Amino acid sequence: MPKISKKFATLLVIVICVFVIGGVKLFFQVFRLGPDDTIAARAKGNPEGAIRITEYVDFQCRNCARGARYLSRFMNDHPDQVYLELKFFSTSGRHSLLSARFAECAARQGKFWPFHDLLVQRQHRWKQFSDAHPAFEQMAKDVDLDLSRLEKCLEDKSIAKLILKEKTDAKSLGIKRTPTYFVNGKMVVGLKSLKQELQQYFGGSDH
């Protein structure tokens, strides 16, 4: 074994660690480009606005509801400058997939955002239920969804497939938890980071 000094061995270990981790990170980053396609029915705001936000949510997650309320106020204050699109990242919460299916079916009737707002507003209630289906149906009635079309849509297996595909795509972007946002392509996780990121565009006002 060639004689090497302890300091040289230390340096060697550090360099190897940096190269291995850097290499693996680079390898994964090649495949993480950012959100691609936009689903128009789940988008709102000005497409030409200065800020484009893609939001990955699970409707059952409390912080997602807080984030949604914050974004709603933020968009009201900056109506022409923000474009928001929403994507599903349903976790293992008992109502996560069902709430996303209802929301997607509402989107197919052009009423995604009113339904979304009710989901967020009443989250603290429906997330307690063992069966949230009646609560979602009530919300569907409240936003005047066509209930027969809704029933057919809920039975459509392609809806669940689409929701799971969005989650798979999100995972390939490095998303592991909700809420995660992409603000003009930059990933931010959680409401605190979102506020900090948006403050960079519009100064210190905290909504």
Instruction: Please report, as ranges, the residues that interact with another protein according to CB under 8 A.
Output: 3, 5-6, 9-10, 13-14, 17, 21, 24-25, 28, 32, 62, 174, 176-177, 180, 187-190, 192-193, 196
CB atoms within 10 A of CB 186: 11
The nearest distance, CB 151 to another protein, in angstroms, is 34
Of the pair 10, 158, the CB lying nearest another protein is at 10
Give the type of residue at 205. Answer: S
Of the pair 161, 171, the CB lying nearest another protein is at 171
The nearest distance, CB 197 to another protein, in angstroms, is 10
The nearest distance, CB 192 to another protein, in angstroms, is 5
Of the pair 14, 50, the CB lying nearest another protein is at 14
Of the pair 99, 178, the CB lying nearest another protein is at 178
The nearest distance, CB 9 to another protein, in angstroms, is 7
Q: How far apart are CA 61 and CA 52, in angstroms?
A: 23
Evaluated on CA atoms 73, 77, 78, 80, the torsion sign reads positive
The nearest distance, CB 28 to another protein, in angstroms, is 6
Of the pair 26, 148, the CB lying nearest another protein is at 26
